[in-house]
Amino acid sequence: QQELLLAARARDLMRDNPLASAAQHGESLLKAATRRLELWQLTEDQIQRVLATGEPIRSITLSAPAGGFVTARNVFPNQRVTPDSDLYTITDLSRIWILADVFENEASYFRPGIRVGMELPYLKKTLYARISNVLPQFDPASRTLKIRLVADNPGFVMRPDMLVNVELPVSGPPAII
């Protein structure tokens, strides 16, 4: 914001310069400073307010690019923020992933697109998901593979790191069990 104010003053000083290139340089400095603030997500109104008042804005409201729930907060009052700072992690919980463990010898029964039922331990309601992927990660201790399920999350009843009971349909050749 200080650069913007300096560029505006420089433009005004160079405007009356008899050299045409000086006026162009002043204008390009102002455009560069404005663009830098736009990259910081300042609105046109905020930039115009800085130019009109001649003072930097001390508290700026930044709007999130997407809606959701704040799942991590990495910023605090009076903290210096740089362009690569992650201020918040915002997660859209309307559609979620569920990771289910299956034994390695059963993994061949599961293909993407298969519909599965699931239930939260405290909620006696069956929800449905679809198999998205059989992930390549193998756990040698439990001899299991991970299957990724994708589900809608009506009412946001499921949250990160919750446990659910999943009913995976397994069918094999006819046999005596």
Q: Are strands 69-73 and 88-91 parallel, antiparallel or unpaired?
A: antiparallel
Output the pLDDT for position 126: 86
Which candidate, 168, 167, 102, 114, places its Cα nearest to that of 138? 102
**Secondary-structure percent of the chain, ordered helix, strand, coil, rounded to 5:** 30, 30, 40
Beta pairing partners, 151: 96
Output the pLDDT for position 23: 66
The first and second tokens of residue 125, run together, are 């309601």
Output the pLDDT for position 153: 92
pTM flag (> 0.85): no
Report the percentage of the chain scoring pLDDT > 70: 95
Beta pairing partners, 99: 148
Output the pLDDT for position 20: 64
How many CB atoms are located within 10 Å of the residue 96 CB?
A: 19
pLDDT per residue of the chain (177 residues) written in tens, 0 to 9:
889 898 888 888 877 766 767 667 778 888 999 999 888 888 899 999 999 999 998 887 777 878 889 989 998 888 888 878 888 899 999 999 999 999 988 888 888 999 999 998 888 888 999 999 988 888 999 999 999 999 999 989 888 889 999 988 877 778 887
